[in-house]
Amino acid sequence: MQTTEEIYNLSGRFYITSSPARITRFPAPKIITSKKSLTGTDEISPKEYWESLRRQFWSSLSSQNRAIYTWPPPGETPKSDKKAFECLKLDDMLDVASESNNPDKVLHDSAFDNFCLLVFKVNEVVRFEYGVFPAKRIVYRLDDEEKEWIVEESNP
């Protein structure tokens, strides 16, 4: 494995897009898009936009990865050894009509409610190159108003 002799430090803000059934402390990030909303209007709300992305990423997961969201939290002792890891595959059922007596759909919806989309919006990158002498430090900062990156060399 090659070594690059570089270190990158990323700074920014995390956003969590969780199920509408879950309560989160932080709102979804604002977006600018020309997508049509689910209601047919020209503008799409940030909640609708991020929920559509959450659904898209959920559908792109393998059935084995979707099944993980039915398991107990990491480190927790399962309450029932046989039931805890019973679900090893979970098909995407987002487009299946909801039936209250369909146990597969109930399990799927519970797993989907546990699935969150974590978005990291980077606004600063510090690149430290220590393989040269003298070492170099370059700072990249995002100018939100101009929507461009500002590059500055800094003292290592």
Q: Are 51 and 17 in contact (CB under 8 A)?
A: yes
Read off the amino acid at residue 53.
Answer: L
- What is this structure's pTM? 0.71
Evaluated on CA atoms 3, 151, 27, 109, the torsion sign reads: negative
More confident residue, 55 or 46: 55
Average pLDDT value for residue range 99-125:
85
Buried/exposed 66-85: b ≥16 CB within 10 Å, e otherwise: bbbbbbeeeeeeeeeeeeee
Q: Is the pLDDT of residue 96 over 80?
A: no
Q: Is the pLDDT of residue 66 over 80?
A: yes
**pLDDT at residue 108 in the model:** 84
In this prediction, residue 25 has a pLDDT band, given cuts at 50, 70 and 90, of low
Percent of the chain with pLDDT over 90: 28
Question: Which residues touch 48 (CB under 8 Å, ≥6 apart)?
Answer: 37, 38
Q: Is the pLDDT of residue 39 over 60?
A: no
Coil vs helix vs strand at 28: coil
Q: Are 90 and 66 in contact (CB under 8 A)?
A: yes
User: Domain spans of the chain?
Assistant: 13-31+43-120
